[in-house]
Chain A
Amino acid sequence: MASYVLTINSRQRDVIADPGTPLLWVLREHLKMRGTKYGCGIAACGACTVHVGGVATRSCVLPVSLVGARPIVTIEGMAADRVGRVVQEAWVSGDVVQCGYCQGGQIMTAVTLLKNVSKPTDSQIEQSMGGNICRCGTYVRIRAAIKQAAQQLG
Chain B
Amino acid sequence: MLNRRSFIRVSAAAAGGLMMSMYFDHPSGAQQPTAPIFPPDAFVHVRPDGTIVIQVNRLECGQGTQTALPMILADEMDADWSQVRAELAPAEDLYKDPVFGVQMTGGSAAIANSFQQYRELGAKTRAMLVAAAAARWQVSRDECRAAKSVVYGPGNRSARYADLAAEAARQPIPDKVALKSAAGFGLIGTPTRRLDSRAKCEGALRFGLDLDVPQMQVAVLARPPVFGGRVRGLDDTAARSMAGVRDVFEIPLVHGTAIAIVADTFWTAKQARERLTVDWDLSGLERVDSARLRSAYQALAHTTGNIAVRRGDDDTLNRIPVARRMVADFEFPYLPHTPMEPENATIRFDGDRAEAWVPTQAPTEDQVAIADVLGLKPQQVTFHTEYAGGGFGRRSPFDCHIVREAAAVAKRLRGTPIKLVWTREDDVQGGYYRPVYVHHVEVGLDEQGMPAGWRHVIVGQSWVIGSGHWSEPFVTKDGVDLLGTQGTTDTRYRIPNFHVSAHHPRLNVPVTQLRSIGYTHNTFVMETLIDELATRAQADPIAYRLKLLDPSATTIRTPLMLLEEKSATWRRSLAPGHAVGIACNSDQSTGVACAVDVSIENNRPRIHRATVAINVGLAVNPLTVEAQCQGGLVFGLSQLMAKGAITVNDGHVEQRNFDGVPPPYMKDAPVAIDVHIVPSSEKPSGCGEPPVPVISPAVVNALFRLTGKRYRTLPLVSL
A140 contacts B267, CB within 8 Å? no
A126 contacts B657, CB within 8 Å? no
Considering the complex, which residues of chain B in the window 667-696 have a beta carbon less than 8 Å from any beta carbon of chain A? 667, 669-673
Considering the complex, which residues of chain B in the window 597-639 have a beta carbon less than 8 Å from any beta carbon of chain A? 623, 627, 630-635
Given contacts A95-B193, A137-B635, A137-B669, contact A44 B627 (CB under 8 A): no
**B623 neighbours in A (Cβ, 8 Å):** 95
B194 at the interface (CB under 8 A from A): yes
A34 contacts B197, CB within 8 Å? no
**B207 neighbours in A (Cβ, 8 Å):** 37, 101
CA distance A132 to B671 in the complex (A): 15
Instruction: Name B's interface SS.
Output: loop
CA distance A81 to B670 in the complex (A): 31
**Interface-centre pick from A32, A97, A126 (highest chain B CB count, 10 A):** A97
| Other-chain residue from A37, A88, A93 in contact with B202 (beta carbon distance below 8 A) | A88
Considering the complex, which residues of chain B in the window 60-78 have a beta carbon less than 8 Å from any beta carbon of chain A? 60-64
CA distance A135 to B623 in the complex (A): 19
CA distance A100 to B197 in the complex (A): 8
As a 0/1 sequence over residues 40 to 65 of chain A, the CB contacts with chain B under 8 angstroms (1 = contact) are 11101101000000000000000000
CB distance from A69 to the nearest CB of B (A): 23
B201 contacts A88, CB within 8 Å? yes
As a 0/1 sequence over residues 193 to 215 of chain B, the CB contacts with chain A under 8 angstroms (1 = contact) are 11011101111111101101000
A119 at the interface (CB under 8 A from B): no
Given contacts A25-B266, A44-B658, contact A139 B339 (CB under 8 A): no
CA distance A100 to B427 in the complex (A): 19
**A103 neighbours in B (Cβ, 8 Å):** 200-201
Given contacts A122-B671, A136-B635, A137-B634, contact A97 B200 (CB under 8 A): yes
Given contacts A40-B657, A76-B202, A136-B631, contact A45 B62 (CB under 8 A): no
Considering the complex, which residues of chain B in the window 95-135 have a beta carbon less than 8 Å from any beta carbon of chain A? none
Chain B residues touching A, range: 35 or more
Whose C-beta in chain A lies nearest to the C-beta of B671? A122
Per the CB 8 Å criterion, the residue count for chain A at the interface is: 59
Whose C-beta in chain B lies nearest to the C-beta of A102? B340
Instruction: Name A's interface SS.
Output: loop
A98 contacts B203, CB within 8 Å? no
Considering the complex, which residues of chain B in the window 418-467 have a beta carbon less than 8 Å from any beta carbon of chain A? 423-425
| Other-chain residue from A42, A129, A137 in contact with B633 (beta carbon distance below 8 A) | A137
B593 at the interface (CB under 8 A from A): no
**A101 neighbours in B (Cβ, 8 Å):** 207, 339-341, 389-390
B342 at the interface (CB under 8 A from A): yes
**A44 neighbours in B (Cβ, 8 Å):** 657-659, 662
CB distance from A79 to the nearest CB of B (A): 6
Whose C-beta in chain B lies nearest to the C-beta of A107? B201
Whose C-beta in chain A lies nearest to the C-beta of B63? A98
B664 at the interface (CB under 8 A from A): yes
CA distance A18 to B432 in the complex (A): 35
| Other-chain residue from B198, B338, B666 in contact with A129 (beta carbon distance below 8 A) | B666
A71 at the interface (CB under 8 A from B): no
Whose C-beta in chain A lies nearest to the C-beta of B624? A95
CA distance A76 to B204 in the complex (A): 8
**B667 neighbours in A (Cβ, 8 Å):** 126, 130
B663 at the interface (CB under 8 A from A): yes
CA distance A44 to B265 in the complex (A): 22
**B268 neighbours in A (Cβ, 8 Å):** 18
CB distance from A53 to the nearest CB of B (A): 20
**Interface-centre pick from A25, A101, A107, A133 (highest chain B CB count, 10 A):** A101
CA distance A18 to B271 in the complex (A): 11
B474 at the interface (CB under 8 A from A): no
Considering the complex, which residues of chain B in the window 377-402 have a beta carbon less than 8 Å from any beta carbon of chain A? 387-392
17 new A-B pairs (CB below 8 Å) besides A95-B193, A98-B62, A134-B666? A25-B266, A39-B341, A39-B342, A42-B424, A45-B340, A95-B197, A95-B623, A95-B627, A99-B389, A100-B196, A100-B205, A101-B207, A103-B201, A132-B665, A137-B631, A139-B634, A141-B630
11 of the cross-chain contacts (CB-CB < 8 Å) are A25-B266, A35-B202, A41-B424, A96-B201, A97-B196, A99-B60, A100-B197, A101-B389, A126-B667, A133-B662, A137-B664
Which are the 6 A-B pairs with shortest beta-carbon distances? Answer: A35-B203, A137-B634, A101-B389, A100-B200, A99-B62, A98-B62
